[in-house]
Amino acid sequence: MIISGGGTGGHIYPALALIEDLLKQEPQSEVLYIGSTRGLEKEIVPKKGIPFKALKIQGFKRSLSLYNFETVALFLKSVHNSKKIIKDFKPDVVIGTGGYVSGAVVYAASKMHVPTMIHEQNSVVGLTNRFLSKHVDKIAVGFKDAIKQFPANKTFFAGNPRAQQVANIQSDFKWSSYGLDDNKPTLLIFGGSQGALKINQVTAEAIKHFNGCDYQVVFVTGQKRYDSIMNYIDNNKINVGNNVIIKDYISNMPEILPKVDAIIGRAGATSLAEITALGIPSILIPSPYVTADHQTKNALSLVKNGAALIITENDLNVKRLTENADQIMNNKNERMLMKENSYNMGCRNSADLVLDMARSILK
């Protein structure tokens, strides 16, 4: 299998989940990951011991620009280089999980009549997968809302492969290792690995409220924003109570998530796959800085199923944040209902579904 997905973790982690599942099922399988020279995958994938090749490619700018001529040239060169790699590796199937690099790789494979498949994680279809949909044999989607945006005869719902990976993690983590109470409801506030500026600012101001709550709060700022948040807390003489801890980063997040009672965070596809796989109630604050506002559409799919609350970034303030947090954390019955609704949305065999469909198209 050749698999390609690049740029962000949202494209990379589903690909890694598919690889992990394949090698569990068929340890003799050979896998090659093709990524870009610019994306996070060039750092993440080789560390997993997975054979990796990189292509130089970039995305389009949405304005008229000479940059776009270079983009076209790099795409055509990447298609040419992909054909060489495919000819040498001789894959049975090529799967793309999104990002510009997967566009070149999967397109090249389709032109060589190699069975191809793509996975779309978001509720709004990305530019690359919209282009590839005309050329591939099968299309898997992570949100049912995306089905209608693809050709019906080759599209199926599979959920996000990352969900299966997270659901299978066995965790013996204890909050007492962080100095917290293992028997208290725990709220995780996490704006992503890089942090989210406004979420961080509002949460820092809300610490005074959280200090007096019967639940405990784990606030993860992101590494590059930690110092500024701690300076703000010091400068404003905000006391951090015993039921609140502030971390810059949590490296073992998948082990911690099963111990979380509710989460406040963004609405990226991978994050939502993880929390629905585990059935975690959530307060979602979609990033307004993404293509086609797809995080809002992702979030609304949970909201309409009673699995989440939503706050737009424009409406985010201390009052809204703390009222929503209290609504979930102080009402166990409501929290348990949201947990059940979230769990019912999860797809905990999604990697298996994608691989089964990939096998069905082998020629």
Q: Rounded distance, CA 45 to CA 4, Å?
A: 11
Q: Which residues are annotated as a binding site for UDP-N-acetyl-alpha-D-glucosamine?
A: 8-10, 122, 193, 250, 295
Q: Rounded distance, CA 42 to CA 20, Å?
A: 18
> Measuring CA to CA, which residue among 268, 229, 223 is closest to residue 250?
223
Q: Rounded distance, CA 22 to CA 359, Å?
A: 11
> Measuring CA to CA, which residue among 228, 209, 216, 227 is closest to residue 188?
216
Q: Rounded distance, CA 302 to CA 300, Å?
A: 5
Collapsing DSSP states into helix, strand and coil, what is residue 186?
Answer: strand
Token pair belonging to 339: 């947990």
Q: Which residues are annotated as a binding site?
A: 8-10, 122, 193, 250, 295
Q: Rounded distance, CA 163 to CA 150, Å?
A: 22
CB 325 within 8 A of CB 170: no
Strands (E), the chain: 2-4, 32-36, 52-55, 94-96, 116-120, 138-141, 155-157, 186-190, 216-220, 244-247, 262-265, 282-284, 308-310
